[in-house]
Structure 1
Amino acid sequence: MSQHPDSNDNLTSTPTTDEQTLTNVDTASADVDDNQSTPAADKHIRIVNTFMKRRTHMNKNAELALTAPEFADYLVNNSFGDGDLTGIHDLRALFADSPNGSDAPLTLEIGFGLGDSFIEMAAAEPARNFVGIEVHEPGIGKCAYMAGTQGLRNVKIINGDAIQLLKQLPENHIDRIQLYFPDPWQKKRHYKRRFVSPERMAIVTRSLTQGGWFHTATDWEHYAFWMLEVLDNFAGLTNQAGAGNFIDRPDFRPMTKFERRGIARGHGVWDLIYSKD
């Protein structure tokens, strides 16, 4: 399908899946290098991010949604790039005054890109609450604009690092966590940046409710089988398609025009859904 981060050492990359101006990348940071664990070294910890912020154009609608008061209810922490997650410890509480209330089924999408499929899913399931987290302000703005113009009452948007957010949330808190077309980081020395790893999945699984889902999809075959191996061997999660198997794209995950174009060209897409034991 589309291009993913290239193989140049400077880590500047072309857009990832869906050929979007903004990419549907992982909005999360991860652990530190193993050799930097002493107190003295803590002052110089190098964070290994699973995402890369890219300079992208912000259109007028996105800018309007980030600044106009009529869109403010969608933006949990509108801080224009700061990504400050201070005080966000309960996603359900964000919907306390909404028609669904705080007890409705809750989905968190990590790295929603421009938000088209995220908003489509929220519109299709009005009785379910949706929280999206992203680091790219143009995508955040566009997503808020679409939610506002459609009058959705079941959407909240957070600017920041998904792993940090998950660490702040209670256990058994989210019914579904979605990670669609994450950055594959295809160079071997960058595999540590891949979102799906045992360390990160421990954080993800902790936040899921009993029976809750982790759903991921990718158009990179190597990453698909990487995720299959990691997740099939992760204690506490069960592959809904059976060990070693992928699942057909569920109806609730919209197929984007770029995904459809890639499939027409013979490119594969792999979905995985795991439930918490």
Structure 2
Amino acid sequence: MSDTHDDRPDAATSAPESPAAPLHRRGIKSYVLRAGRMTIAQTRGLEEVWPRLGLTLAEGRQDLDALFGRRAPRVVEIGFGMGASLIEQAEAHPETDFIGIEVHAPGVGKLLDEADKRGLSNLRVYREDALRVLEECLPEASLDTLQLFFPDPWPKTKHHKRRIVQPAFVELVRTRLKPGGTFHLATDWAAYAEWMAEVMNAAPGYRNTAAAETAPYVPRPEFRPLTKFEARGERLGHGVWDLIYARDA
């Protein structure tokens, strides 16, 4: 998907949008769909496993207890990439239900294939725009955690309007979290980490869980798997910043 917006610099795009900004902004997406070759395993995931673990917007508002057949902690991850981290979490925590949201077919196919091979029953997947899934499919106050790990930083000032972390988005996330539920963000771009902290610290109804000596950031929690990309970055001396905010009661 190409950027249809004017490339001229605009000072208004270099700061987060107001909370009143519409979430479905015409022509503006936080992601770009890229074509990619599908492996046999990825194709199998989409063709054979999807009917069992895949979810669609057309299904509307979900009853999560009915969907998973139990009442359990619920975690949603937006933009899971190739799914390695989400698979690891779902396998390590069978007592928790996970929902992944990703638009790229190879990643969705890979995750589904792995979930099937490992016999995971606590994982479901949307191949949809995350904003629409949050707005149309996930009930209010239904999530214990929402994870947003390494979203596209859109580093150019003219593209900052494409960043998913905006006041309107974090307010939508807040409404889907249970009181006390957490929004966990991570990025390897220092400037985006600062942006995230600015947006979150200004957002009503959240509190930063970081200790005073590390605020606004927290050390990488043990429960967040270390990705291959992140491990490589650490070896090269690249930084990673985690932020965890809790919804007020």
Asked if the contact 1:30/1:48 (under 8 Å) is kept, the reply is no
| Alignment partners' CA distance in 2, 1:51 and 1:215 | 19
- From 183, 192, 195, the equivalent of 1:214 is 183
Aligned runs of 1:1-277 on 2, under 5 Å?
30-32=23-25, 46-68=26-48, 72-77=51-56, 85-90=57-62, 92-93=64-65, 95-97=67-69, 101=70, 103-168=71-136, 169-242=138-211, 244-277=215-248
Alignment deviations for residues 190-234 of structure 1 (CA, whole Å, 9 cap, x no partner): 111111111111111111110001001000000001101110111
> How far 1:96 sits from its partner (Å)?
3.8
Match of 1:38 in 2: none
Letter in 2 for 1:275: A
> How far 1:242 sits from its partner (Å)?
4.8
| Alignment partners' CA distance in 1, 2:127 and 2:63 | 13
Gaps of 5+ in 2: 1-6, 8-21
> How far 1:93 sits from its partner (Å)?
4.2
> How far 1:47 sits from its partner (Å)?
3.1
Gaps of 5+ in 1: 1-8, 10-28, 33-45, 78-84
If each structure's helix is expressed as a fraction of its own residues, which one has the higher value? 2
> How far 1:95 sits from its partner (Å)?
3.1
Asked if the contact 1:213/1:273 (under 8 Å) is kept, the reply is yes
| Alignment partners' CA distance in 2, 1:57 and 1:93 | 36
Q: 1:121 to 1:265 in 2, by over 3 A?
A: same
> How far 1:189 sits from its partner (Å)?
1.4
Q: What value does the CA root-mean-square deviation take over the aligned residues?
A: 1.8
Letter in 2 for 1:126: P
TM-score (norm: length of structure 2): 0.86
Alignment deviations for residues 122-164 of structure 1 (CA, whole Å, 9 cap, x no partner): 1010000000011011111100000000001100011101111
> How far 1:88 sits from its partner (Å)?
2.9
| Alignment partners' CA distance in 2, 1:91 and 1:256 | 31
Match of 1:18 in 2: none
| Alignment partners' CA distance in 1, 2:119 and 2:187 | 30
Letter in 1 for 2:64: R
Residue-pair matches, total: 226
Q: Percent identity?
A: 43
